[in-house]
Structures are given as C-alpha cells and as structure tokens.
Amino acid sequence: MRQRLEETLIMTDKSTLDVTVLAGGISHERDVSLRSGARLSDELRRAGHRVTIREPNATLFADVAENAPDVVWPALHGASGEDGALQALLRARSIRYVGSHSEAAGLAWFKPTAKVLVDRAGFATPRWLSLPQETFRELGAGGVLGEVLAGIGTPAVVKPAQGGSAQGVTIVDDASALPRAMVDAYTYSDTALVEQKVTGVELAIAVIDTGDGPRALPAVEIEPVSGVYSFEARYNAGETMFYAPARIDDDVADRAASTAVEIHNLLGLRHISRIDVIVDAEGTVWFLEANMLPGLTETSLVPQAIEAAGLTLSDVYSDLVARALVD
C-alpha cells in the first residue's frame, strides 16, 4: 500500500506536498474543528509536508487560486464542511481535496436519508421518525408528541437530523422529557430525528482508503462514565473510557467491520469515514450514523483506531493526502 503511494509521489515529484487545512468555520462545532485542524497539521508536518491552516471565508477560493496548494483537507465539522457544498465548489474548481464528494457528503450529513438507504440495503438500523419543525405548527404539539410516543415509545434518542458531536442529543427515558428533547434538537437543525434506543456496545469504526480500497480499522468501544456519550464526554479527558480494539468477540468484530465498509461504499464515501454502530446482546450490528469528516482531536475516535491498527497518524494522514492527489 505505502509502496504504491510512494511510487506515485516519486513519479509526480510530490514527495513533499503543499497542503491547506481548513479549520474553524461558523458552525456549532467550530472549536472542535480548530482542534482537529491543529492536530492534523502537526502530523502532516511531521510527515514532511508544508501545511497552511486557514479559515473558510470569503477570500478562500481567491487564496487557493493564488497559492495553488497540492491538496486541501477540510477539517471542518458541521454544515460548513459536511453538507457537501464546500466539496462541490472545490470539485468545480478542480481542486484536489481529502474526503468524500458532495453527493455522498449530503447523504451522510442528513441522517434520515442515510438511514433510509441503509435500511433499504438490508442493514439493521433503529426504528425512527423524522420530524421537521413545521410538523408541530401544522398538526399541534400535543398530537404529534402523542404519535411519537405511540410509534417509537421510550427509551428513545432525540437528535438533530444534521450535525455532530452529540450537540442537541437527548436520551428520553420518560415521556415527560420528550418536549424538552425536541426543543433541544431543533436548536441545531430544522428537522429532528426520534430513534428507538438500542442497548448494547457502542462502537466507532473508522474506514480508510489509501490506495487498496476501503478497509475498516479496529473498532473503538465507547464507554462513557456517565452512561451517555455527550459532547462533554467526547471532548473532556477522563469522561469516557475507550477500548481499541473493542472488547468483543472476533466474529462480531468481523461483522461490524464488514458492515462499516459496506455502508461506506453504499453511501459513496471516499478516503476516510467513521461509521457508528451499536452491537446488541444478540450480536446484531445496528447502524446509527455515518461521518464523512470525522474528528481528529486528541480524544477523537479515528486517531485511536489508527494507533490500534499499529499505524502512525502521520503516515496515514500523509497517505490520504497522497491518495487525494491522484484520486
């Protein structure tokens, strides 16, 4: 794998690349993006590349045209980097970039669409309802909430249909908590996703493609101290126990890995993704969501998976940049 990429770089005289990392933005996940961008940039520099970190703003494309980086890596979380618009513009200007193209980004970004595709393909995903905010205005809050409880019941998970880092996510164990949970979800998205809560082992499975096709890295098991993998549990050290590789049987690990790669391909994702699943007591792998620009912070899951595979962050990130150059 690395030999093929090194040969490609030698042929193109690009063993050291100029990489522009995009970090920050205006989404709710700005701070996480800045942390991802800083850590990514450090690793790319360690691999010998020349790296510029910059914010996405009104001068972005003029600056890219003037400075002509070899590859752009959007380390943006939230709509500014994950809804596909940025990728469409980069592609229209023939700018090489790491990550999925706009069509696949859009599918993964809107969670109900991803769930429909995954469900139709025969994979397990928790029963759900997708509710635009206008539904409550048209049909009345009391009636809609009653139907949600009748259709999904409790315990349930209420989350924004778009977004990440567990912002606006609530575990609803009692019907009385549902109205507040809906309000919290609508703070981050005009559509809320209400999902049956599945109990089991929560796994994050990184999928990378550095030249030989998509492959799953060892699953990372997530065990929050509080029992809920909240925003705080994700980004505050000590709030969550991580096990990489996950403490699951080999056959379950193989099925989870196979599921992750198949869903990565099904959604048309490229280069790098993270597929989040839960494995229940019967061994069923339940798809939760797909992330086309996963976090790369010091507590993020993809870096843990890379290290659990016996790889180094700088090598993998460098290989992904090389892949974007020729893909």
Instruction: For residue 236, tell me if it sits in a domain.
Output: yes
pLDDT tens column, 301-314 = 999 999 999 999 99
Are 264 and 132 contained in the same domain? no
- Whether the CB-CB separation of 61 and 73 falls below 8 Å is answered with no
pLDDT at 236: 59
Instruction: For residue 286, tell me if it sits in a domain.
Output: yes
Instruction: For residue 120, tell me if it sits in a domain.
Output: yes
Rg (CA), the chain: 20
> Which of the two residues, 217 and 241, has the higher pLDDT score?
217
Are 222 and 116 contained in the same domain? yes
Share of the chain above pLDDT 90, in %: 77
Write the CA distances from 50 to 9, 42, 211, 282, 327, integer angstroms.
Answer: 15, 10, 22, 49, 20
- Whether the CB-CB separation of 287 and 115 falls below 8 Å is answered with yes
Report the range of poorest mean pLDDT among 89-98, 109-118, 166-175: 166-175
pLDDT at 298: 87
pLDDT band at 12 (very low <50, low <70, confident <90, very high): very low
Are 223 and 114 contained in the same domain? yes
pLDDT, average across residues 287-309: 95
Closest to 102 (Cα-Cα) out of 86, 113, 123 = 86
Are 204 and 306 contained in the same domain? yes
Instruction: List, in sequence order, every residue forming a beta bridge with 21; answer none if it has no partner.
Output: 53, 73
Are 224 and 83 contained in the same domain? no
Which residues, other chains included, contact 110 with Cβ-Cβ below 8 Å and sequence gap of 6+?
161, 162, 191
pLDDT, average across residues 26-54: 93
Are 8 and 91 contained in the same domain? yes
Domain range for 120? 107-124+199-310
Instruction: For residue 167, tell me if it sits in a domain.
Output: yes
pLDDT band at 226 (very low <50, low <70, confident <90, very high): low
pLDDT at 78: 77
Instruction: For residue 317, tell me if it sits in a domain.
Output: no
Buried b (16+ CB within 10 A) or exposed e, 170-189: bbbeeeebbeebbebbbebb
What's 192's domain CATH number?
3.30.1490.20
Q: Structure pTM?
A: 0.91
pLDDT band at 3 (very low <50, low <70, confident <90, very high): low
Which amino acid, residue 219? A
**Average pLDDT score over the chain:** 90
- Whether the CB-CB separation of 73 and 38 falls below 8 Å is answered with no
Are 303 and 239 contained in the same domain? yes
Are 249 and 117 contained in the same domain? yes
pLDDT band at 13 (very low <50, low <70, confident <90, very high): very low
pLDDT at 153: 93
> Which of the two residues, 13 and 260, has the higher pLDDT score?
260
Instruction: For residue 316, tell me if it sits in a domain.
Output: no
Are 117 and 143 contained in the same domain? no
Are 170 and 214 contained in the same domain? no
Using the predicted structure, report yes or no on whether residue 75 has a pLDDT greater than 60. Answer: yes
pLDDT, average across residues 227-243: 67
Instruction: For residue 322, tell me if it sits in a domain.
Output: no
The count of domains in the chain is 3
* H-type alpha helices, 124-169: 134-139, 141-151
What's 225's domain CATH number?
3.30.470.20
Are 233 and 171 contained in the same domain? no
pLDDT, average across residues 81-103: 94
Are 218 and 86 contained in the same domain? no
pLDDT tens column, 119-174 = 999 999 999 999 999 998 889 988 999 999 999 999 999 999 987 667 788 999 99
Using the predicted structure, report yes or no on whether residue 104 has a pLDDT greater than 90. Answer: yes
pLDDT, average across residues 14-41: 90
pLDDT band at 77 (very low <50, low <70, confident <90, very high): confident
What's 52's domain CATH number?
3.40.50.20
